[in-house]
Amino acid sequence: MTLDELWFLADRATQSADTAYHHLRDRYDEPMEFDRTKHVSRSRFRTLAERIHVSGAPYGTHTIVHRSTGELLLVRHEGVDMWVLPGGQLNNGESFHDAARRELCEETGIEVTYEGLAMLTRIELCHGTYSTWGVLPVFVAQADTTEPDICDPDEEISKAQWFTELPEDTRDRDDLLAWRARTLRS
């Protein structure tokens, strides 16, 4: 891919991100919003821009699963060596919500009742003079069943566990703590 092609890809990705962002904002009531910037290698930029062009999202979609006791369900992702929210990439033609539900089933086996969109993060990706952005929607759901049963076809998830206190090595820990604080105030 030449540099000009990379610019065109980034431009198309930005258009897809705009569409996805506005669709999510129109459909769901006031999710918490965050902005992140990531500087990535040229090949990673291309990969993520291609994902954004297809779906609007570089990293797919995720779900915050909670119990009535306030515990949150996290999964151990071996690829990043951290506790993360269950979630992942969209399959062709899949909605964000459908992808979140499928990924949650694969990674935890938990049955839930979805309550809406908790967070919407705008992730700006940069490589040199090139930039684009994508969305990371995070849904929220209350657990109907509580015993995890991992059946992850990608074999990236090694554990699923409930937490009252989030481990220090939780990805996006500060965002989750902010969401929890906001939710407890409501």
Selection from 7, 39, 12, 18 nearest residue 135 by Cα: 18
142-184: per-residue pLDDT in tens? 999 888 888 877 788 889 999 999 999 999 999 999 999 888 6
Total of domains in the chain: 1
Nearest C-alpha neighbor of 141 from the set 107, 122, 165, 117: 117
Residue 148 pLDDT: 86
Residue 9 sits at φ, ψ, to 5 deg, of -60, -45
Q: What is the pLDDT of residues 94-138, one digit of tens each?
A: 999 999 999 999 999 999 999 999 999 999 999 999 999 999 999
DSSP 8-state symbol, 64: E
The first and second tokens of residue 78, run together, are: 């071996």
pLDDT at residue number 55: 96
Q: Using alpha carbons, list the distances in angstroms from residue 33 to 91, 94, 152.
A: 24, 23, 29
Residue 18's H or E segment, with its range, is: helix 3-27
Cβ–Cβ < 8 Å for 144, 115:
no
CA atoms within 13 A on the CB side of 119: 25
For the stretch 20-33, pLDDT in tens is: 999 999 999 889 99
Residue 140, pLDDT > 60, answer: yes
pTM: 0.93
Domain containing 149 equals 3-185
At 178, which amino acid appears? A
Kindly report the CATH number assigned to the domain that includes residue 124.
Answer: 3.90.79.10
CB atoms < 10 A from the CB of 70, how many?
A: 11
Beta strand pairing call for 82-84 and 130-143: unpaired
Averaged pLDDT, 23-51: 95
